[in-house]
């Protein structure tokens, strides 16, 4: 049985339907997951972990020590809901775009740090 899945879903403000849409299943099928009536494949557990932004181990332990919930980014519940509602292909394109933007900003940050360090010498 997956521990803490309902608690986690409610804590981030998602409905069963929204999570079900993100998984590509019906709300009734997702409800059976929360009730522990459906065994999950590792792939499905990975999908859930991605939706909730936790490591898959979180669902087994139910511990708040396990999640890698993003705390330093200002991702709102509305943003999460919009991402879940997008179709798979568009979601992948959006994720790729954000990853590229993050890499660009990390590189720019590194470059600026090097400039600052050089000027301090």
80-113 pLDDT, tens digit each: 766 777 666 677 887 888 899 999 999 999 999 9
Check: CB of residue 105 under 8 Å from CB of residue 73: no
Tens digit of each residue's pLDDT (9 = 90 or more) over 59-86: 776 554 544 444 434 456 666 766 777 6
CA dist 114 to 61, 102, 111, Å? Answer: 42, 18, 5
Q: Tokens at residue 85, please?
A: 């509602």
Please report, for the chain, the start and end positions of each structural domain, with discontinuous segments joined by +.
Answer: 1-70, 86-121
* Residue 24 pLDDT greater than 50, yes or no: yes
pLDDT at 76: 61
Alpha-carbon distance 92 to 81, whole Å?
15
Q: For domain 1-70, give the CATH number.
A: 1.10.260.40
Using alpha carbons only, give the angle 40, 15, 95 rounded to the nearest 5 degrees.
75
pTM over 0.85: no
* Residue 4 pLDDT greater than 70, yes or no: yes
Alpha-carbon distance 13 to 51, whole Å?
12
């Amino acid at each position: 049985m997956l521990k803490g899945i309902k608690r986690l879903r409610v804590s981030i403000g998602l409905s069963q339907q929204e999570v079900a849409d993100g998984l590509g299943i019906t709300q009734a099928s997702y409800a059976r997951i929360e009730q522990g009536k459906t065994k999950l494949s590792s792939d499905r557990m990975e999908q859930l972990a991605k939706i909730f932004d936790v490591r898959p181990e979180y669902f087994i332990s139910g511990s708040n020590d396990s999640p890698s919930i993003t705390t330093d980014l200002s991702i709102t519940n509305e943003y999460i809901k919009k991402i879940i509602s997008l179709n798979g292909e568009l979601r992948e394109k959006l994720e790729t775009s954000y990853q590229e933007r993050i890499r660009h900003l990390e590189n720019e940050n590194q470059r600026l740090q090097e400039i600052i360090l050089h000027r301090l010498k």
